[in-house]
């Protein structure tokens, strides 16, 4: 996101930018100089000039969520995992011929605990989608995911956001 201010004269005011809670590594620059940004409101109070630029970068890596980390009582739930990209829930669909939505899945992850994903060409998806990824499983298989809204367009198809887990990435 890039903002360029257009001011008739220099003016002191507060520019407030909202950093969403799902974004763990936001980067903000004012005229090329970085500033720290945690989640919540970032308030930039200064003397602003015509042409000042503010850039905001909100990275959205694909992350694994565990059902047993979803709040009080969730540790009693059967172990399931979900994939999200920023605020977007990803879903597997029965329309991907290889995907078994009820089989336990152990996601292969990198050193930081993120799933190893590969973006798919949207032409490879058997339905219209906005995002599509393939992730490798610990057993050497693969499973495909799209954004939840695209996977759920055909109401007669089975989709899954939470998948039962197995292997090393079943429970942390």
Cα–Cα distance for residue pair 65/80, rounded to 1 Å: 8
At residue 105, the pLDDT reads 77
- 160 vs 148: CA distance, rounded Å: 9
Query: Helix, strand, coil proportions of the chain in percent (round to 5)?
Result: 10, 45, 50
Res. 172: pLDDT tops 50? no
Instruction: Tell me the pairing of strands 40-48 and 80-85.
Output: unpaired
Q: Quick: pLDDT tens for 62-116.
A: 988 888 877 788 777 788 889 999 999 999 888 886 667 777 778 888 888 888 8
What is the pLDDT of the chain when averaged over all its residues? 87
Closest by CA to 35, choosing from 59, 62, 22, 17, is: 17
Q: CB–CB of 1/58 below 8 Å?
A: yes
**Is a pLDDT exceeding 70 seen at residue 26?**
yes
Least confident segment among 33-37, 63-67, 98-102, 156-160: 98-102
Tell me the pLDDT tens digit for each residue of 115-141.
888 999 999 888 899 999 998 888 888
Q: Give the residue with greater pLDDT, 154 vs 15.
A: 15
Cα radius of gyration (the chain): 20
pLDDT band at 165 (very low <50, low <70, confident <90, very high): confident
Q: What pLDDT is attached to residue 55? A: 96
């Amino acid at each position: 996101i890039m903002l360029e201010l257009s001011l008739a004269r220099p003016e002191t005011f507060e520019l407030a930018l909202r950093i969403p809670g799902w974004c763990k590594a936001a980067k903000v620059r004012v005229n090329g100089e970085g500033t720290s940004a945690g989640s919540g409101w970032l308030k930039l109070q200064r003397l602003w000039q015509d042409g000042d630029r503010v850039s905001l970068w909100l990275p959205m890596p694909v992350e694994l969520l565990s059902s047993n980390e979803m709040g009080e009582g969730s540790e009693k739930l059967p172990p399931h995992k979900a994939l999200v990209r920023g605020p977007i829930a990803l879903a597997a669909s029965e329309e991907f011929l290889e995907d078994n939505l009820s089989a336990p899945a152990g996601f292969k992850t990198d050193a930081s605990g993120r799933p190893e994903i590969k973006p798919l060409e949207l032409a490879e998806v058997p339905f219209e989608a906005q995002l599509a990824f393939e992730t490798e499983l610990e057993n050497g298989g693969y499973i495909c995911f799209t954004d939840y809204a695209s996977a759920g367009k055909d109401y007669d198809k089975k989709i899954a956001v939470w998948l039962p887990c197995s292997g090393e990435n079943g429970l942390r």
